[in-house]
Chains A and B, each alone.
Chain A
């Protein structure tokens, strides 16, 4: 009995440790492989030039720019919307509200929808319905917003990352002691004043954590932007919300599957993936730095 227990115990330790080692090894192999094959082509030219000669030469600057612009627009859209949803559910809605229950269920399901479905939804809803509607009513039917564009891609991506922001914000709101709210009320705060002056400043860390997760998710997804705004190749950077744009993830996909000369693009492909990884880490890092700064500033209030 004791022998058996000891045997089970030590083998479980070994198995769980092995699982950890495998995960670390996987990450190391993926990153190592990309760095090994991609690092030597990484240069300032590569980062700052547009692709040339059917993407066999030149750089990927438009894709870097497009990805960054996409993520920023997405963040601008998803944070207010997600925070408002969470604040309503946690601070305004009556307890045990059926409506909140339904919204929460919907958000959980939203998190489980495959990314490609978001892409199709974005095409159908944002471009065909809203975009067309804008064109009909404001541009006399001229094609402006009724086609793939960075704004639609960003909104589709915002929808994809919405559950992350809502859940993170709700978590943060739940962590705020009820007694703080009572003190605010007892000093004559209205509900909005209480939220504005006590709840939101306290929740800022959690909200930004949600934002960071959204950024990491959004900068790596390809499927939602495929039909909604990402282009195969563009000579110009996007300068208007209704322009199309190049995106790193999509660029990788295009170079892998649709290159005229696969062998010639392979080295570029590796370097592009490396840049994509670096950009994701950098966006993450920036968001974490912003959060740290705001937290420091808010530690005692303003």
Chain B
């Protein structure tokens, strides 16, 4: 299997063939500075793609293009193609709010909204009239998927702030899952967590990838090696290398990749 598989049906109209995200020549600039210099990369349903690279490589920027969060700051200029299940997400008729429901995101620090646990979980569901009725089953499903159900099932009416940091991050994961997204974006989700919480999230991801595409940005090279199927190495806004994780870590094609994963720079 080649590192970067080409989606067969991308952009040709026969959409449903490719399940996942595909970006082609994705470029982002901020003022005069180029942050992403043409990234062509995909993440399929059924796999975990991790993105590693030193700070400033454009990992987070790339992630935020995929659910159109980057454009909340109008100073960013974005060009290139982003396809979700074969359809462009920057198309004219795309409703941004609806799109973001299909692309879940977990941020690098757990951000529990100042509400109860159950209000946090139902936040996304409550926004859509059609999904409100399924609230309870979805919440339970999401909590089980995030390995949090047993810990919070009797505490749903408590403020979310009462949870520990690790639990809050799993709550954030569950909150994104309530909407049944087809892609899950994780921006260094374990950067502030202890090893046990990290382990639980990684375990959850292994189960989750069966039904969706997971993109995991991480500063922890070991986490990428441990938890992902493929790994992409970003450097200064460029995709230097992407390959099956085992191959990238044992026989990287680029010297810089080898240097980074062995900790010689970055």
User: What residues of chain A have their CB less than 8 Å away from a CB belonging to chain B?
Assistant: 94-95, 177, 179-180, 182-190, 193, 197-198, 202, 299-302
Is there an interface contact between B159 and A188, defined as CB atoms closer than 8 Å? no
Q: Kindly provide the distance from the CB of A242 to the nearest chain B CB, expressed in whole angstroms.
A: 43
- From B109, which residue of chain A is reached at the shortest CB distance? A179
Contact A183 B113 (CB under 8 A): yes
Q: A187-B100, A187-B127 in contact; A182/B119 too (CB < 8 A)?
A: no
Given known A180-B111, A202-B114, A299-B159, contact A186–B119 (CB-CB < 8 A): no
Q: Look across to chain B and name the residue whose beta carbon is closest to the beta carbon of A182.
A: B69
Q: Say whether A179 contacts B111, CB under 8 Å.
A: yes
Which among B67, B111, B159 has the highest number of chain A CB atoms within 10 Å? Answer: B111
Residue-wise interface mask of B (116-127) relative to A, using a CB-CB cutoff of 8 A (1 in contact, 0 not):
100100011011
| Nearest chain B CB to A210 CB, angstrom units | 20
Chain A residue contacts of B98, Cβ below 8 A: 188
Nearest-neighbour CB distance to chain B for A166, whole angstroms, equals: 24
How distant is the Cα of A187 from the Cα of B126 in the complex, in angstroms? 10
User: Which parts of B49-82 form the interface with A (CB within 8 Å)?
Assistant: 67, 69, 72, 74
C-alpha spacing A177/B109, complex, angstroms:
13
Sorted from nearest, which 7 A-B pairs have the closest CB atoms?
A: A301-B115, A187-B124, A188-B101, A300-B159, A186-B105, A301-B119, A179-B111
Q: Are B114 and A300 in contact (CB under 8 A)?
A: yes
Bound-state CA distance A299–B119 (Å) is 12
Q: A186-B105, A302-B115 are in contact. List 9 more A-B contacts (CB 8 A).
A: A183-B111, A185-B69, A185-B72, A186-B107, A187-B123, A187-B124, A190-B127, A197-B123, A300-B158
Chain B positions within 8 Å of A302 at CB level = 115, 119
Residues on B with beta carbons closer than 8 Å to the beta carbon of A187: 100-101, 123-124, 127, 175-176, 179
Q: Is B137 an interface residue (CB 8 A)?
A: no
| A186 and B116 form a contact (CB under 8 A) | no
Distance between Cα atoms of A125 and B109 in the complex (Å): 53
A-B pairs with beta carbons under 8 Å apart, 7 shown: A179-B107, A182-B72, A183-B172, A185-B72, A186-B67, A187-B179, A300-B119
Cα A51 to Cα B100 with chains together (Å): 66
State in angstroms the CA–CA spacing of A197 and B74 once bound together. Answer: 23
How far does the alpha carbon of A299 sit from the alpha carbon of B162 in the complex, in Å? 13
Q: How far is the CA of A61 from the CA of B243 in the complex (A)?
A: 84
CB distance from A192 to the nearest CB of B (A): 10
Which residues in B have their C-beta under 8 angstroms from that of A198? 113
B32 to chain A minimum Cβ distance, whole angstroms, is 18
- By a CB distance below 8 angstroms, the chain B residues around A180 are 111, 113-114
Contact residue among B104, B109, B126 (Cβ-Cβ distance under 8 Å from A186): B104
A193 to B175, CA, bound (A): 17
B111 partner residues in chain A, CB cutoff 8 A: 177, 179-180, 182-183
- Cβ-based interface call for B2 (8 A): no
Among A186, A197, A202, the residue within 8 A (CB) of B69 is A186
Q: Which residues of A contact B179 (CB under 8 A)?
A: 187-188
A299 to B114, CA, bound (A): 7
Cβ contact within 8 Å between A190 and B159: no
Q: How far is the CB of B225 from chain A (nearest CB, A)?
A: 28
**Which residue of chain B has its CB nearest to the CB of A95?**
B74
Complex CA–CA separation, A50 to B166 (angstroms): 67
Asked if B128 is at the interface (CB within 8 A of a chain A CB), the reply is: yes
| Contact in complex: A189, B127 (CB < 8 Å) | yes
In angstroms, Cα B171 to Cα A183, docked, is 12
- Bound complex: CA A94 to CA B71 (Å): 12
- Please tell me if the beta carbons of B176 and A184 are within 8 angstroms of each other in the complex: no
The interface centre, meaning the residue of B67, B109, B113, B175 with most chain A CB atoms within 10 A of its CB, is: B113
For A301, give the chain B residue with the smallest CB separation: B115
Which residues from chain B contact A193 at a C-beta distance below 8 Å? 97, 127
* Bound CA–CA A300/B161 (angstroms): 9
Q: Which of B104, B107, B114, B126 has the most CB of A within 10 A?
A: B114
Chain A residues with CB under 8 A of B67 = 186
Of A188, A189, A193, the most chain B CB neighbours within 10 A belong to: A188
A128 to B97, CA, bound (A): 48
Q: Which residue of B lies closest to A187 (CB)?
A: B124
A183 contacts B119, C-beta separation under 8 Å? no
**Residues of A close to B159: CB separation below 8 A:** 299-300
The smallest beta-carbon distance between B123 and chain A, in angstroms, is: 6
Residue of chain A at shortest CB distance from B106 = A186
Q: Are A188 and B124 in contact (CB under 8 A)?
A: yes
Chain B 87-110 interface mask (CB, 8 Å, partner A; 1/0): 000000000011011001101010
Of B69, B74, B113, the contact of A94 (CB 8 Å cutoff)? B74
In the complex, which residues of chain B have a beta carbon less than 8 angstroms from the beta carbon of A299? 114, 159
| Residues of chain A with a CB closer than 8 A to B107's CB | 179, 182-183, 186
Nearest-Cβ distance from residue B147 to partner chain A, whole angstroms? 20
State the CA gap A95–B98 with chains docked (Å).
Answer: 25
**Alpha-carbon distance A177/B113, docked complex (angstroms):** 10
Q: How far is the CB of B155 from chain A (nearest CB, A)?
A: 12
| Chain A residues in 8 Å Cβ range of B127 | 187-190, 193, 197
> Is B128 a contact of A186 with CB atoms below 8 Å?
no
